[in-house]
Copies of this chain bind each other. A is one copy, B any other.
Amino acid sequence: MGTDQRQADPNRTLELLWDVQAPPTRGPKPALSLRQVVDTGIAIADAEGVAAVSMRRVADELGYTTMSLYRYVPSKTDLLDLMVEHAAEVPDLPPELTGWRDKLRWWANDTAEIYRRRRWALDVPLNTPPMGPNQVKRMEQGLSALDETGLSGGEMLGILVVLSGYVRGHAQLATALADVEQRTGTPQEAWDQAYGRMLTTFVNADDHPTLARIVAEDGFEGYAEPDDEWLGDDFTFGLELVLDGIDRYVERRRPAMSPE
């Protein structure tokens, strides 16, 4: 395959992401628009996953030739990046939220919600720093949530990296468990059975004492088969954990300050 991407042009990427480009005056009118191309890609990914998105496929869907897309997008890699950027729309922060913790919880949940609706976004490799409008807007939102804590810019950024790292990582793990069927073409139950067989066959008390005990106690129910709501209680549990950690950090940094 030729996916190597020998060279990338950050400026061009930036132009595309922020949709700034002197609209050309000379040639014939474009029949398509970047927007259409990206949206078509998103539609395909929504329906069949990111693996189904090929240049050919997108072009066919639009009724044009494969190569015509390259007038709008430098490479498939860029197309995927643009798809992620456009798919990650950021709603405004609900004004009724007051404390940083509520805001940050909403922020994390909303980010997770993106991954829930567009699971394919997790399959797009993260090649460049996030610098599209939506990504930046999301960052701004997170920062504004933390603003009242009085932390430094660096500290706030660190916290956001931690939090979005958690959201992304957890979403990925959850997806791996929940989407086996779609990803492997083999029914869920077959995997569950295999997992169970693995636990009973290879996990013995000598090598895996703790695990063996939990398995014996049936502590694995509900983990081999994840809950239907995908990012459910588990995510919330971890989120509160992280928020607690942030809380403790914030408290420690300004030991005796009035909340206002």
Which residues on A are within 8 Å of B, measured CB to CB? 1, 3-11, 13-14, 18, 51, 123, 125-131, 133, 136-137, 139-140, 143-144, 147, 152-154, 156-159, 161-162, 164-173, 175-177, 180, 183-186, 190-191, 193-195, 197-198, 202-203, 207-211, 213-214, 217, 219-220, 222-224, 234, 237-238, 240-246, 248-249
Contacts and interface: CB of A to CB of B under 8 A. Distances in A.
Copies of this polypeptide in the complex: 2
B211 A140 contact: yes
For the complex of A and B, 6 pairs with smallest distance between CB atoms: A153-B219, A169-B169, A162-B238, A241-B245, A165-B170, A10-B194
Contact of A198 (B131, B167, B183, B211): B131
Contacts of A241: 159, 162, 242, 245-246, 248-249
A116 to B, nearest CB: 15
A10 B9 CA distance: 42
A13 to B, nearest CB: 7
